[in-house]
Amino acid sequence: MVHELTDEELLDKFESETNIVRTRADELLKLVKQRRELSFEDAAKALNVSVQTIESWANFLEEEKILSIKYNFTTPFITVFHEKIKAVPETGTLQKEIIEKKELNKAALLKEEELSEINRMLAEAYSCLKKGQFDKAKEIYAQIKKQYDDLPLQFLEKKKELNTTLTRLSKDLSLNLSKASLKEMEKKSQNIRKLLKMLEQKIEKREVLNAIKIYGQIKIIYNSLPEGFLEQKLILQNKIIEIYERLITIREEQDIMDTSVKKSEIINLLEELKQSMNEKNIPLAIKLYEKVRELYNSLPKGFLQEKAELQARIIRLYEELLS
Q: With 70 as the cut, is the pLDDT of residue 156 above it?
A: no
Whole-model pTM: value is 0.45
Model pLDDT for residues 103-145, shown as the tens digit of each residue: 455 445 545 666 677 778 888 888 887 777 777 878 888 887 7
Examine the fold and report which residue of 80, 115, 132 is the final residue of a domain before the chain moves on: 80
Question: Which CATH number do you get for residue 69?
Answer: 1.10.10.10
Shared domain for 104 and 174, answered yes or no, is yes
* Same domain (yes/no): 266, 195: no
The number of distinct structural domains making up the chain is 4
The pLDDT score that the predictor gives to residue 137 is 79
Is residue 87 situated within a structural domain?
no
162 is a domain residue: yes
User: For the residues 65-69, what does the mean pLDDT come to?
Assistant: 82
**What is the structure's pLDDT at 1?**
45
For residue 123, what are the domain limits? Answer: 94-179
Residue 94 has pLDDT above 60, yes or no: no
Distance CA(265)–CA(255), nearest Å, equals 15
> For residue 221, is it within any domain?
yes
Calpha distance 290→284 (Å, rounded): 10
Q: What is the pLDDT of residue 86?
A: 45
Examine the domain organization and report whether 169 and 197 are in the same domain: no
